[in-house]
Amino acid sequence: MTSASSAPAPLAGIKVVEFTHMVMGPTVGHILAGLGAEIVRVEPIGGDRTRRLLGSGAGYFPMYNRGKQSICLDLKDPEGLAVAKDLIGGADVLIENFRPGALDRLGLDYETLSQSNPRLIYCSEKGFLPGPYENRTALDEVAQMMGGLAYMTGPPGKPLRAGASVIDVTGGLFGVIGILAALEERHRTGKGQKVVASLYETTAYLVGQHMAQYAVTGTPASPMPARVSAWAIYDVFQTQDEPVFVGVVTDALWEKFCKLFGLDGLWADESLRENNQRVLAREQILPSIREMFSKMTRDEVIAKLDGTGLPFAPIGRPEDLFDDPQLAAGGLEDVTLDSGEQVRLPTVPLEMGGQRIGSPQQLPTAGKDARKVLASLGYDTDKIDALIAAGSVSESA
């Protein structure tokens, strides 16, 4: 684990103000925080409701809001709105992912804010880029359904969303890419700009390989469970206990696979030496492979394959990853939740200059940093007390 003092911080000195909720917007801030930027998260009085989601939403806040400061403002109150504008006035980056026009109505649109802070980079995370759909409300699931990802994931006739918020997170990644590019351009021009990333167009980019397949072959891509694989052995195989994925994706690996498992008969068949021949003979090959794996345990298969160069994977579950030795080598960071409980969660998956990004993080309670943030704006104690007493700003309970 990289210590807080030695963790890479290439964005040190970059100040970010975040008006976000759920996953897509907070992902942008979390990655920037992991890279060393200073993030002030503006929440409504009482805190972001994402903090209180149940079920599959219970992990959203702790996963994507580490390493940030929190201040709660009443943006409908002139004094609270004035604090927000003061924060933005000294910021390098603003992130928002609310409904189209929500911040515009408060005078927090890019055109207005850039007049007083022309260096501001304003990142909007939306459902759609400009076009006929731009004012629609979108969610990760909406984008997956519209953009073909759910169609490709589920079996024919049964669209199925991916098992994580992949579009929210990837849309956040594109937002980070846009911000970093805008920072680089600002080095040359001295001016900021507006950056917009979206859920729908992100989905289209991810399924672009299937669009290209149709363009090249003239045949629509089949959903993944019904696809014609590019390789004969590229599947999940049941062992005596737990299933294992195994892929044989080159002719050299086919030779290695046959010799490793003593499949002399298959290797002796010269009509199977080339990949496309094996794909055409897949139904001939697979029964004996499935039978072979069914007589082995999962650990026996892994021990046989590990270090050979053959692609393989046990079927992991999210709860298994806490004890994964690869992640324990630097992929998890210590996080103190707002309840005081300590857990370990995935860090930004990067290494820079030979060091991992991760370092111990604190999840802020709602409004925890109110006085510190206000003092950094030059507000004196009397003004801070007055803002809190009036309810324009709230402190954590």
Write the pLDDT tens digit of every residue in 245-262: 999 999 999 999 999 999
Predicted structure pTM score: 0.94
pLDDT tens-digit series, residues 167-185: 999 999 999 999 999 999 9
Mean pLDDT of 235-239: 97
Summarize the confidence of residues 84-97 as an average pLDDT. 98
The class of domain 229-318 in CATH terms is alpha beta
State phi, psi for 6 to the nearest 5 degrees: -105, -5
* Residue spans of alpha helices (H) in 225-378: 251-260, 264-268, 275-280, 282-294, 298-305, 325-328, 370-376
Query: What is the residue type of 136?
Result: R
Distance (Å, whole) CA 331 – CA 324: 9
> 3 falls in which pLDDT band (50, 70, 90)?
low
The confidence score (pLDDT) of residue 180 equals 98
CATH superfamily of this structure's domain 15-206+330-394 = Crotonobetainyl-coa:carnitine coa-transferase; domain 1 (3.40.50.10540)
Question: How do the domains of the chain map onto residue ranges?
Answer: 15-206+330-394, 229-318
pLDDT at 186: 98
Contact 149, 160 (CB under 8 A): no
Q: What pLDDT was estimated at residue 150?
A: 98
Helix ranges (H only) for the chain are 24-34, 60-64, 78-89, 110-116, 140-146, 149-153, 166-189, 199-206, 208-217, 251-260, 264-268, 275-280, 282-294, 298-305, 325-328, 370-376, 381-390
Answer yes or no: same fold for 15-206+330-394 and 229-318.
Answer: no
Q: Which structure tokens are listed for 301?
A: 């298969």
pLDDT at residue number 339: 87
